[in-house]
Copies of this chain bind each other. A is one copy, B any other.
């Protein structure tokens, strides 16, 4: 059973943070899942040193740490606090052995309507964080989020925008690719080619449901929506990606309400059926 899953990584948000990290690790590893992407909030109950041991003992590779805090700000005071928190996130990524810190860059701070200004802040903040990331051997992965989050979560909406920021800030920066955010973009393949293998730092999937009942918490199980995941996966491979495929499903409306075992069993079966590992 483990062969079809040797490229599958579990983003722990998929299970809705209802179980202790140790239980999640056990459940994932026992099914042959090969990697894990934890969230920082889990370190409140499971200190990073313990988390690192859990992953190592279970043989789970850490694909990334989710995630840096929003980089956009309305005041200088906020700016410094944001940098401080993100340096802590870099420390935590290094401490658990995550090669990558996923960066969700933030939307418009209260009262701001100037998206260009917010985008400029993102580039400046990333530049300020880069030395710390470099010193800890952690790559910062800029994640373009679906345009429906432009106001409140990410003023960076397309792969092209994320790469513009990478070009401007430095070659150590890279991008996190998520099918949910980018499936609609006609320039997706062009963006992948432009990124090149060295700047592709993560590949996340879930599905887009019709109807989508909530902007944040109604992502679909892979195979339940309209995204052509096999096609996108081939495009990502063609761009040089050799890493794992991380499944990240935010679903307070559905999957979070099911037992962990059910979610994982369905996930593993769907992943095997999609046969993304074979490509």
Residues on A lying within 8 angstroms of B by beta carbon are: 107-108, 113-116, 119, 146-148, 150-152, 157-158, 161, 183-186, 208, 210-212, 215, 225-228, 231
Contacts and interface: CB of A to CB of B under 8 A. Distances in A.
Contacts of A212: 148, 151, 215
Closest 10 CB pairs of A and B: A150-B184, A113-B228, A147-B184, A148-B148, A151-B226, A151-B210, A147-B147, A152-B210, A157-B184, A113-B226
Contacts of A157: 184-186
Contacts of A226: 108, 113, 151
A246 B210 CA distance: 29
Contacts of A184: 115, 147, 150, 157
28 contacts: A108-B226, A113-B226, A113-B228, A113-B231, A115-B183, A115-B184, A115-B186, A115-B228, A119-B186, A146-B147, A146-B148, A147-B147, A147-B184, A147-B185, A148-B148, A148-B212, A148-B215, A150-B183, A151-B212, A151-B225, A151-B226, A152-B210, A152-B211, A157-B184, A157-B185, A161-B186, A211-B215, A212-B215
Copies of this chain assembled into the complex: 2
Contacts of A161: 186
A175 to B, nearest CB: 16
Given A113-B226, A115-B184, 8 more contacts: A115-B183, A116-B186, A119-B186, A148-B212, A148-B215, A151-B225, A151-B226, A152-B211
A145 B93 CA distance: 38
Considering residues A115, A225, A231, which has the most beta carbons from chain B within 10 angstroms of its beta carbon?
Answer: A115
A113 B225 CA distance: 9
A138 to B, nearest CB: 28
A157 B184 CA distance: 8
Nearest to A225: B151
Contact of A215 (B119, B185, B186, B215): B215
Contacts of A116: 186
A116 B215 CA distance: 24
A225 B113 CA distance: 9
Contacts of A146: 147-148
Contacts of A186: 115-116, 119, 157-158, 161
